[in-house]
Structure 1
Amino acid sequence: MSTAESDSTLAALQELIEVVAKLRSPQGGCPWDLAQTPQTLTPYVLEEAYEVVDAIKNGDRAHICEELGDLLLQIVLQAQIASEAGDFTLAEVAQGISEKLIRRHPHVFSDVEANTIAEVHQNWEQIKAAEKGETNTPLSQKLQRYARTLPPMTAAMKISTKAASAGFEWDSVEGVWDKFDEELAEFKHALEAETPIEQASELGDLLFTLVNIARWYDLDPADALQETNYRFLRRLQVLETFADKPLADYTLGELEQLWQKTKASLAQHKP
């Protein structure tokens, strides 16, 4: 980055900081912004993060830029509120992540050798464990944070991957399929004879096993489900163009015929 670009970036960030500070000012600020707390803003952090991911997947550069701005606003807002409470500042946030990156990249900022991605990852995990005091921490305790902080399917993938790398793994993918059959049978039994709580428990076991199958085949279950959601909505949208009355007025057989017509139409127009 050139000096001019760096100066421009810093000036833009400073302007954003000042705008947010003004919104939070008791003198002439925005009542909505003044009413916010770190807790009330949490849903917006998640929403904006997901919207950034969606924009990246769609490849719209202008949309990506806009959504990154919305996410950056949430970071600056959180830091502004923390600064007002005397907890920490945006400068401390930036300084902290810079120091962390330097610590975790000794192959770039020091004399450690790491010539492959695998070596970089191994160094990163070792340094991360040392930072968190987890060198001798039980595996279950290390994995707790994924269950707490990640969406359930993403957490399941992360937990199963980490557990497998620690040796908690099937000998072959056939063993995973056997486990799937076992969990499917238990889920079916629960639906027929158990309580809703036990049914939900067996459903969770079945889904966790599916996540493990996805891991064995190098598939991302969260991405796969997301794409299925999109595909269903695309098909529903086309189906609605074929319908000449409300969908609730069709029989199940008629809806199936429309569905097959929709799939055939989309297949013909596939690029």
Structure 2
Amino acid sequence: MRGIDALLAVMAQLRDPVAGCPWDREQDLRSLVPHTLEEAYEVADAIERDDPAAIPDELGDLLFQVVFCAEIGRETGRFDFDSIARGMTDKLVRRHPHVFAGRQETTASGQRATWEAIKADERSARAAGEAPPGALDDVPLALPALTRSRKLQSRAARVGFDWPEPHQVIDKLREELAELEEALDHQPPDQRHIHEEMGDLLLACVNLSRRIGVDAEQALRDGNAKFERRFRGLEAILAAADERPETVGFDRLESAYQQAKAQDGPGPGVADAD
């Protein structure tokens, strides 16, 4: 029996109304959402750590979530694993005419434009007879905020709502930072206004990342990893001097951090940053 067939059979047994697992029988598509998101992040973590043992294990956990959802769909008669796989196959063929339909495409940017045009046509077809689809339709709310911001701004850019040059986005970033500073200086403090201006500043940061070809979500993940690595170095430096972070002042902490930074250097493929 093929691995996928065995997995589907095990899933069906887990959902069996008589002999199945009580927890598995209680689940529905909505209850599986947090588990599916968690497994996707664990796949990303294993890849980031370049752990050859963990990657296939975490991919298996993610695949199980797909199979779980497919089994629930099969029970309700709405879809099953085979229809999911066939739908994905048809979509890939349809969105790659340069591979499967003899259409010539020589650049990645050209292929990307074709891909997005086909997706737009698909959205229009799904909305046939309804109001024309908006440029921002179908961007999932469940995406991480940085990723969703990039997608929203990319969609807006496709219809012309974009700064012509990246340096203009930097000017906008400075403008948003000044507005945040003004909100922070306001007396009495208005936390709601500060919150709003911080959101505008983050939005501008994501827009700048998009314009200069940097994925904001991945850049922040890399920045987090670098900060974590260097802070652990700070802790090691203090421990070697029989000191603890909570018992020394900020100047000592900053000095130890700069020492850890000098010892660490930039991460692989990541530019150094203060």
* TM-score grouping bracket, smaller chain normalisation: 0.7 to 0.9
Q: Distance in 2 between matches of 1:261 and 1:121?
A: 44
255-264 or 70-79: which moved more?
255-264
1:50 aligns with 2:48: no
Deviation string 1:5-46 (CA, Å, 9 cap, x unpaired) is xxxxx7110000011111111222222212222111111111
Deviation for aligned residue 1:138: 6.5
Deviation string 1:157-200 (CA, Å, 9 cap, x unpaired) is 22222322322222333322221121111111122326322221
Q: 1:179 to 1:147 in 2, by over 3 A?
A: farther
Q: Which residue of 1 aligns with 2:233?
A: 238
Q: What does 1:30-109 align with in structure 2 at a 5 Å threshold?
A: 30-109=21-100
> Percentage identity across aligned positions?
40
Q: Which residue of 1 aligns with 2:107?
A: 116
33-42 or 187-196: which moved more?
187-196
Deviation for aligned residue 1:69: 0.6
Q: Distance in 2 between matches of 1:223 and 1:176?
A: 20
Q: Which residue of 2 aligns with 1:225?
A: 220
Q: Which residue of 2 aligns with 1:257?
A: 255
Q: Which residue of 1 aligns with 2:204?
A: 209
Deviation for aligned residue 1:114: 2.9
CA contact (8 A) 2:135 2:156 kept: no
Q: Distance in 1 between matches of 2:261 and 2:99?
A: 51
Q: 1:212 to 1:138 in 2, by over 3 A?
A: farther
Give unmatched runs, 5+ long, in structure 1. 1-9
Of residues 169, 185, 190, the one that matches 1:192 is: 185
Q: Which residue of 2 aligns with 1:166?
A: 159
CA contact (8 A) 2:163 2:169 kept: yes
1:152 aligns with 2:145: yes
Q: 1:178 to 1:119 in 2, by over 3 A?
A: closer
Give unmatched runs, 5+ long, in structure 2. 269-274
Cα RMSD (Å): 2.6
Q: 1:260 to 1:192 in 2, by over 3 A?
A: same
Q: What does 1:132-147 align with in structure 2 at a 5 Å threshold?
A: 132-133=123-124, 141-146=134-139
Q: Distance in 2 between matches of 1:189 and 1:250?
A: 33
Q: Give, as a single letter, the amino acid of the residue that structure 2 aligns with 1:197.
A: R
Q: Give, as a single letter, the amino acid of the residue that structure 2 aligns with 1:162.
A: R
Aligned length: 260
Q: Give, as a single letter, the amino acid of the residue that structure 1 aligns with 2:247.
A: D
Q: Distance in 2 between matches of 1:20 and 1:259?
A: 50
Q: 1:119 to 1:240 in 2, by over 3 A?
A: closer
Which SS does the other structure have where 1:61 is aligned?
Answer: coil
